[in-house]
Structure 1
Amino acid sequence: MGVESGDLGSFEPLAAFLAEQAGAKSASIQRFDKLSGGAIQENHALDVVFEGGSFEGNQALVLRTDAPSGVDISHARAEEFQLLQCAYAKGVCVPEALWVCADANVYERPFYVMRRVSGSAEGHRLVKDQAVIDNGDGLVAHLGAQLAKIHSITPENQSFDFLNLPEPTPAIAGVVRFRKYLDELPGDYPAIEWGLRWLEKNAPSEVDLVLTHHDFRIGNLMMDSGILTGILDWEFAEWSDYHEDLAWFCARCWRFGNFEKEAGGIGDRSAFYDGYQEMSGRQIDPKQIYFWEVYAHMRWAVIAVQQGVRHSSGEERSLHLALTGRVCAELEWELIRMTKPGDQHGTR
């Protein structure tokens, strides 16, 4: 297992599983290639020819499974599968999740299979893509509306047995959690500690809990010719205040160098907000956005350190993980800049 399309004969158990799930007479795997990206999970392009059943013919799919090592805050594949199914049922633009399996006799690690959508999710390319640039404000307005659809899922209308309600608030619960993660890492990170203390002292008391994607940003949004085709990577989703997702998308660290375009590096913040507010009926509080943008830089800094340690510890040797660890210094600088005493005047 784990080989690419040069040795497709080793995938007979997987092919049998797919045929059974699809109600087909047989399934023939024509392609199994690892896709780019996915530092925490692995995605494989899976081309299958089904004989019989409702999936008759050629099907372009994706098999999503665990990477050899991971981080504590990532959901299991079966849990992410449930989240995708729920979002799909709400009309969110996500790939349709089809089948899930944890049988090591079928594949070496737990996985699920979903339909493959067209396009690219590479952030550094998308912010320079002319089709995205030409449709920037319209695109971010649409993304705001999509985020509002996600946020229509609340603890009042949906439950997940693997998601706990944050206590006492999402902000304080997050500070406690990430301080614990930081304490468990080798080395000292005083700038991140400073950020955590600032967040603790400035945490908002008003909370409107929704299902947050928790990694809604360019890089997890598949686009084709400037059009959204799929919202990916749901492994961090949790109950939180809706401002957190809005701020994560707009945070400076997720603009891929295109800093003047405050909505994900591709559009104006106001267009993104308008799309969200029109669909959701919620109002956006600039003070909450500022808090959650500071939080975004703290959170990404801790995750970056975690990713770097996965490499440096020898757990999973990877140039990508090593380079991610180096991002921490830039994020620490942003934390210091945003939390300078007397200098919180709005988002940047």
Structure 2
Amino acid sequence: MPLHFIVPIYDADAQNWGWEARLLRWMTLIWVAVGLIMLFSASYTEAIETTGDGLYYFKRQVLWTLIGLGGFNAIARIPLKYLLTRSRLVLLGLLILLVLTLIPGLGTTVNGATRWIEVGIVPIQPSEPIKPCLILQAAYIYGRWNQIPPRERIFWFALASAILAAILLQPNLSTTLMCGIILWLMAIAAGLSWSLLGMTAIGGGTLAALSLALQDYQRRRILSFLNPWDVADGDGYQLVQSMVAVASGGLWGSGFGQSVQKISALPIQYSDFIFAVFAEEFGFVGCSLALLFLLAYGGLAWWTAASAHRLSHQLVAIGALVALVGQASINIGVVTGA
């Protein structure tokens, strides 16, 4: 892989970008690097116990990071207009994969949810790559909302609804809500009517309530989040141990690699609850710096959106902002019990 596809200082094309875009890319690379460093710390003990190789999860993530950076730089060279107009085809393909996960025998079930499917030898979670495609297609539709015919609006509404419904049926309520929030906030930014926004919000809330009513484990997760100490030995165990890790960090933290909770007490410490390990090792000061970084990243992303000359381009930036900073903020809130 050419070096300029990975390291931005070697990418001559990036020098033609605006300063906001260049700085945003550097901040993204810093975010990725910190994530890799924390994965090394959080996963080492678990990897030793389960695979015999302490670097197992770290090496896998480094490989996928290199592939992701190559893809990132390749896509950055494609005109945004082309991405906007072609995103629907990719979206339809991913919808097919989502539906396939629901067919018994095709999808892979983990912890009661069937979210993965094997494409060749590669496991894919379609609900993740569908997020950027949703953002692109929503930006394309919302950016021309007053010019497109009713049938195209109806098709978009049907497509988005089918995607959200398929994700919800896996079941994956959190990703469904995240995708819905992204689309809803992008619609607000595009200036769609409040009556339409209100109807979609009511519809989305109704579906979420219905899912909670039908899925016992989702109800238990919500209740355990609200009152984790009441079920500290059951459904609340994960969150209680996470909060213990966060509190153990104190002001300065225990130091990189020195987390105690990650060794045996904190489950899924190298993925969903990795911020708890970060908090224990870097303390209140480290967490404050991380939150300031997210705030700066969000502010710069908003500035980038405001600097775009076309509404559809602004909406892409806003959607990406909500997807990245919003999801990270929600994860931190869940991990800390906020």
TM over 0.5: same fold?
Answer: no
Normalised to the residue count of structure 1, the TM-score between the two structures is 0.30
Which of the pair is proportionally richer in helix?
2
Normalised to the residue count of structure 2, the TM-score between the two structures is 0.31
